[in-house]
Amino acid sequence: MPRRTNNALASLALLGSLLLGGTAAAKETPAAAIPLNELRAFADVFNQIRLNYVEEIDDKTLLESAIRGMLSDLDPHSNYLAGDALTDLQTNSTGEFSGLGLEITTENGFIKVITPIDETPAQRAGIEAGDLIIRLDNEPVKGMGVDEAIERMRGPIGSKIDVTIAREGESQPFTLTLQRDKVKVASVRKRWLEPGYGYLRIAQFQANTGGDVETALESLMSEQELRGLVLDLRNNPGGVLGASIDVAGHFLEGGTVVYTEGRARNSEVKYNASASDTTKGTPVVVLINGGSASASEIVAGALQDHRRAVIMGTESFGKGSVQTVVPLNEERAIKLTTALYFTPNGRSIQATGIEPDIAVERAKVTAIRRRPRLSESDLSGHLENANGEERDEPVPPSTGSLLERDNQLYEALTLLKGLHILGLNSYG
């Protein structure tokens, strides 16, 4: 066995004491036998790097690298938070930072785009959910962690960065030059699609999203009768769990929204909606796609299981895990996957996603050119209507341009119109 220095032995002793003592949460479960051979191997590798690596590396850096390695091998969402990473975590919940505006994860060693955030440099440049980022400023990202990639993509407002992307269906990677900007995620936006039919877009679940949704709904309903509502969760990467509970509560009359299960005693929790459907049973269509993740899937799954809304679009991302931030000290923490969440009917969507009730792929649809219209009333000498009514001049449909811009939204509006014609709502 290679000779160990006192420092290496001290590190081994420290690691052993941590494993034996553990955190308060770990003490609640019986400790497994400590793998002494692996601990010795760790100390040996630690010592070999300290003594023989081509460049000198201090013990603190090596130990932090070991922690990062332990967490990165668990799953894509567990990681080590130090310095700016902790600040970034808080920034994400408030929705304001300087950068490109991308929600990312790792896949096969590369950085994968979950979704671009609305009205950001990334979205304006045309980056899409599912794109693989393979270089940043011509530096390969293979093996780069999410935190490091985020750090490189953020920077001063106005500074530029080259992002090289591999996209399914494209024969060659291509490079986009993006200019960093202030990214302010507008959590909730509202508008009317047509008289009586409202549109609510949630871009990200932030701490105040539940209240913003309530304000938006009340505003719409104060302006005119709300016959139907499209809730757009496409390319929404999720966010604050509590916000998803609040949002679902605005469409449900109580009941379970989601429940979680894990190994830790306090990981088994059931979250219920308040009995306060703000819309009073107004028909709802929820739009989802491959960029809808986490909290978005909680809302879509809850409304689907309670048969409160029709889910339309394409299969969601499939992030059904819960992360807990465990502080180590004032400057460091770990984000650890501690539980899986389940829809009210007991469905785990981890790695499977939410299946829409009506599948509608995003497509470019162009209406066939309208031909001159000829009817009975145009014929010379035609008989008049028996009730004395006259045909109104045809009005081009206001949704024609919507069909071309966003066929999924067009289909959602069409479905809502049908539900209204039949006099259907969610409570009979």
Domain spans in the chain, listed from the N-terminal domain onward: 6-57, 96-184, 188-359
Active site residue 305: yes
Checking if the pLDDT of 415 tops 50, the result is: yes
Reported as a pLDDT band with limits 50, 70 and 90, residue 7 is low
Mean pLDDT of the chain: 86
What residue type is assigned to position 209 of the chain? T
Single pTM value for the model? 0.78
Percentage of residues of the chain with pLDDT beyond 70: 85
- What is the tens place of the pLDDT at every residue in 178-230? 999 988 777 899 999 999 999 999 988 998 999 999 999 999 999 999 999 99
Distances in Å between the Cα of 421 and the Cα atoms of 155, 228, 282 are 52, 11, 13
Reported as a pLDDT band with limits 50, 70 and 90, residue 97 is confident
Residue 238's Cβ-side half-sphere holds a number of Cα atoms within 13 Å equal to 21
Reported as a pLDDT band with limits 50, 70 and 90, residue 87 is low
Reported as a pLDDT band with limits 50, 70 and 90, residue 274 is confident
Give the separation between CA 426 and CA 428, rounded to whole angstroms.
Answer: 6
Cβ atoms < 10 Å from Cβ of 390: 8
Reported as a pLDDT band with limits 50, 70 and 90, residue 93 is low
Which residues, other chains included, contact 255 with Cβ-Cβ below 8 Å and sequence gap of 6+?
272, 273, 306, 344
Q: What is the mean pLDDT of residues 24-51?
A: 77
**Tokens 């796609």, residue?**
289
- What is the tens place of the pLDDT at every residue in 328-382? 988 899 999 999 999 999 999 999 999 999 999 988 887 776 555 677 777 888 7
pLDDT of residue 428: 44
Distances in Å between the Cα of 319 and the Cα atoms of 119, 358, 381 are 24, 21, 67
Residue among 11, 244, 292, 294 flagged as catalytic? 294
Q: What is the CATH number of domain 188-359?
A: 3.90.226.10
Residue among 212, 277, 319, 321 flagged as catalytic? 319
Topology of the domain covering 96-184 = Pdz3 Domain (2.30.42)
Residue among 181, 212, 305, 321 flagged as catalytic? 305
pLDDT of residue 401: 73
Residue 375, classified by CB atoms within 10 Å of its CB into exposed (0-12), middle (13-18) or buried (19+), is exposed
- What is the tens place of the pLDDT at every residue in 45-80? 999 999 999 999 999 999 999 999 999 999 999 999
Distances in Å between the Cα of 295 and the Cα atoms of 23, 125, 151, 187, 272 are 28, 26, 24, 13, 15
pLDDT of residue 25: 45
